[in-house]
Chain A
């Protein structure tokens, strides 16, 4: 249960809000790199943290993310012409470089310095892995670039996608922290999905539908361990790292690629779900990549030409009651990603958390909310740099492991929870 004012604090991410300022301390995913594939690519509209922007790439290949609207008359720069060293407004020809600096006002005399005084708000846009990342905070506070393992392994070992989710970012994130729904909502996927099936760990999942949880503080956020019964005297642990503010990794299954998410607010009622799959030590196979492109695993199919899921609220997520009755899916919705999204969107754009009835197994969510709130308030009141900014906090892994019952997972799996180049993920 959260009071409405705390719920508002956690869910509002516009500039000037406590959580909005918190998000502006981090490098966050802005686009897939494939959206600006080459120098001079057409500009792309981007909305993040309730700010509307244009992303483009000049002829030298430099990336820019600037205010969507021309400083002259406020028209959208999406209609602009990407030429040479900048983007030229389609209305009167004002031209801006990748920093947002105006570099040409054609109506002014050649000797005029007027354009030097005109600058659109601009943010850095940097390619790390197959994502373009931005930092929307104060330039002086800009942290080092992100070092998530999925974004730093060789290109052939990683795959990313993104989808639009029609809900507040926190609802989506909380789904990534809540491991107890997997044995129910995603039970069909464990049996049939090509990116999950066959792992021994799946049996532990299906044989014990009442996991117990241990939640442990980490430097960058939390480790959330869900344990289920395994062989005599042992537990099967699935350990999910959450790194503030919005990064989660799903524990692995067998030698399948490891996946996870970065949940990025578009505005207070929508978010981008950036989804990655990678393998720490080997290239993804052609079949694996094709399965990801086909929407298996934690990815999804799309309305052609968009990042809107093919299954969406306008078609009742293509609900299939017969598949539900046959037990192929628990909710009748196909696919892990859309099973989550359909339920999280059904809560409404911003769920009223004052009405919820949490149980003890929701403690991971309770703790994450508390840490987010503390971090936002500490930043607002004391200027404290929040956890998760330091790239050292990015070097985490999820783990699936069988341990003796009396061993604490954070100690027994300590090294496994850290990125170790050249060492495969710890998985069952």
Chain B
């Protein structure tokens, strides 16, 4: 074998031929990738059911499964815009509730999070999607959103989707609620 540059590799493993199954066994067997600190946040009542079901669907590696309860504006309400939140000039907070009833603050949950996954089934709290998204953007947290409208109800989530769009690096609009645990597993939640 001679490459475009005219050099001849000495070993099979020093060229593209090393992509064989036999050479695969010489790959460095590094440690398992670490889990990501994941916050799964339901934005509405239907989503809270999906999130609660996902929480017990399989063993997780420290993911927090939460539901949005109510917004908590901080400071001058008039100064709170999405852009201001993203720039760090204003802040929003919210009360979240876990399946066991424990309450926590959005800000505290996000402070040590790697990934935030928002889940919606309706437009019940569309504004919350925006404020949570902005808070994630401010912190540089990887975001994803799963929207699972009921059968034939795609239009009932239009506002939520529009609110989420600027902030969720990926929006998955799905007919299948089992996508939630699949996405969480793939992201090492």
Contacts and interface: CB of A to CB of B under 8 A. Distances in A.
B52 interface: no
B10 interface: no
Given A216-B173, A408-B158, A315 B2 contact: yes
Contact of B170 (A319, A321, A363, A405): A363
A412 to B, nearest CB: 11
A401 to B, nearest CB: 15
B135 interface: no
Contact of A319 (B5, B143, B178): B5
A357 B188 contact: yes
Given A349-B21, A405-B166, A317 B186 contact: no
A407 to B, nearest CB: 8
A410 B173 contact: yes
A360 B142 contact: yes
B173 A360 contact: no
A9 to B, nearest CB: 14
Given A217-B173, A374-B178, 20 more contacts: A1-B186, A212-B169, A213-B169, A214-B172, A216-B173, A217-B174, A315-B1, A316-B4, A316-B15, A345-B19, A346-B19, A349-B20, A355-B30, A357-B33, A360-B115, A363-B170, A369-B182, A405-B165, A405-B166, A408-B173
A348 interface: yes
B139 to A, nearest CB: 15
A287 interface: no
B185 interface: yes
B3 A370 contact: no
Given A1-B33, A269-B21, A317-B16, A217 B4 contact: no
A370 B21 contact: no
Interface string A290-327: 00000000000000000000001111111111000000
A366 B183 contact: yes
Nearest to A351: B24
Contacts of A315: 1-4
Contacts of B178: 370, 374
Greatest chain B CB density within 10 A among A213, A342, A350 is at A213
Interface string B154-189: 000010011001101111111110110011011110
A345 B16 contact: yes
A360 B33 CA distance: 16
A113 to B, nearest CB: 47
Contacts of B179: 367, 370
Query: 6 tightest A-B contacts by CB?
Result: A313-B16, A360-B144, A318-B4, A363-B170, A213-B170, A366-B186
A217 B165 contact: no
A1 B17 contact: no
A193 interface: no
A269 B129 CA distance: 44
Interface of B: 1-5, 9, 15-17, 19-21, 23-24, 27, 30, 32-33, 115, 142-144, 158, 161-162, 165-166, 168-176, 178-179, 182-183, 185-188
Contacts of A366: 182-183, 186
Contacts of B182: 366-367, 369-370
Given A317-B16, A360-B169, A367-B174, A1 B142 contact: no
A392 interface: no
A104 interface: no
A319 B9 CA distance: 13
Nearest to B172: A215
Nearest to A321: B5
B14 to A, nearest CB: 10
Given A359-B142, A367-B174, A370-B178, A406 B169 contact: no
Greatest chain A CB density within 10 A among B9, B16, B165 is at B16
Contacts of A367: 172, 174, 179, 182-183
Contacts of A7: none
Nearest to B163: A406
A358 B170 contact: no
A419 to B, nearest CB: 22
B117 to A, nearest CB: 8
A408 B149 CA distance: 14
A317 to B, nearest CB: 6
A319 B3 contact: yes
Contact of A213 (B9, B24, B171, B175): B171
Given A1-B33, A215-B171, A217-B174, A362 B16 contact: no
